Amino acid sequence: MFKRSVIIVSLFSLVLLAAGCGKGKTSITLAGSTAFQPFAEKLAEQYMSGNQGVSVTVQGGGSAVGIQSANSGAAEIGMADLVALPDEAKNLTATVVAKDGIAIVVNPQNKVENLTTDQIRDIFNGKITNWSEVGGNSAPITVVSREAGSGTRSSFEEIIGDVQLKSDALIQDSNGTIRETVANDVNSVGYLSHGLINEKIKALKVDGEESTTEAIIAGNYKLVRPIFLLVKGELKGEVKSFIDYILSEEGQKTIQSNGLLPAK
């Protein structure tokens, strides 16, 4: 009987200890940009490893969702990858934490290596419909684009200018699905964060400039947008500490080593 009582008391103590460990844990949720999402996840892991009392959750949804989530309080931090923030974000505190190029990508089997800005516009508008019109094989072009509300799409259309996306374009909901669609269709063309380029796809030169880190830093590659973190009200507490960490030498090194560009 005594032994049983000791076991029960011990188990009860463990339950109380576990409950106590969860007390005071600070939670931060980020939502928005799917282009920045994998980088935010990596930064969150690093931050939590050095701050045991903090839980950081990262969700996607696109830049529009990031702005809405920050405004509504559904997330402490919204993520947006836009050339310029819309009026909906005017009451949010915006911090640029990185810069990102937008790469025009095709299947590696496509022999086209370069497109001009005008050709890109005409392809996505449906004016150019066959690869032979831009130096490729005779094959219909499959246009792949992001959904409305995507920061990558908004930035792409703003920089290229006068884009009226063709009605039969394939719409994908993330940079990752753009990459997979292009990787699996030899005649497709899409656009995504330059930090997500891999061996499955080929990034084209734009107006003769490669979408490399060096070309972007030098200002030669034109498809570039900032990455914003958006907070309702002033930066304070653990949210400020997390953003400060992203802007620190370690955080910026992580951003650059994983394919994006530092904020400055």
CATH superfamily of 101-217: Periplasmic binding protein-like II (3.40.190.10)
- pLDDT, residue 93, reads 98
What number is the average pLDDT over the span 92-99?
97
Q: Tell me how far CA of residue 61 lies from CA of 17, 79, 150, 240, 244, in angstroms.
A: 37, 10, 8, 23, 24
Give the angle 68-165-227 at the CA atoms, nearest 5°.
Answer: 40
> Does residue 1 carry a pLDDT above 80?
no
Q: Which two tokens stand for residue 205?
A: 């030169």
pLDDT band per the 50, 70, 90 thresholds, residue 24: low
Overall pTM > 0.85: no
* Whether the domain at 27-100+227-262 and the domain at 101-217 fall into the same CATH topology: yes
Q: What is the pLDDT of residue 243?
A: 98
187-243 pLDDT, tens digit per residue, is 999 999 988 899 999 999 999 999 988 888 888 999 999 999 999 999 999 999 999
Q: How far is CA 94 from CA 1, 120, 144, 235, in A?
A: 63, 31, 30, 10
Q: What is the pLDDT of residue 213?
A: 85
Residue 217, pLDDT score:
83
What is the pLDDT at residue 20? 41
What would the pLDDT profile of 110-163 be if each residue is shown by its tens digit?
999 999 999 999 999 999 999 999 999 999 999 999 999 899 999 999 999 999
Protein fold of 27-100+227-262: D-Maltodextrin-Binding Protein; domain 2 (3.40.190)
Name residues whose C-beta falls within 8 Å of residue 263's C-beta, 6 or more positions apart in sequence: 96, 97, 98, 99, 226, 247, 252
The residues with which 114 forms a beta bridge, in sequence order, are: 205
Q: What is the pLDDT of residues 28-76, one digit of tens each?
A: 999 999 889 999 999 999 999 999 999 999 999 999 999 999 999 999 9
- The domain ranges of the chain are 27-100+227-262, 101-217
Burial class (CB in 10 A: 0-12, 13-18, 19+), 85: middle
pLDDT for the residue numbered 195: 83
CA 149 – CA 40 distance, rounded (Å): 20
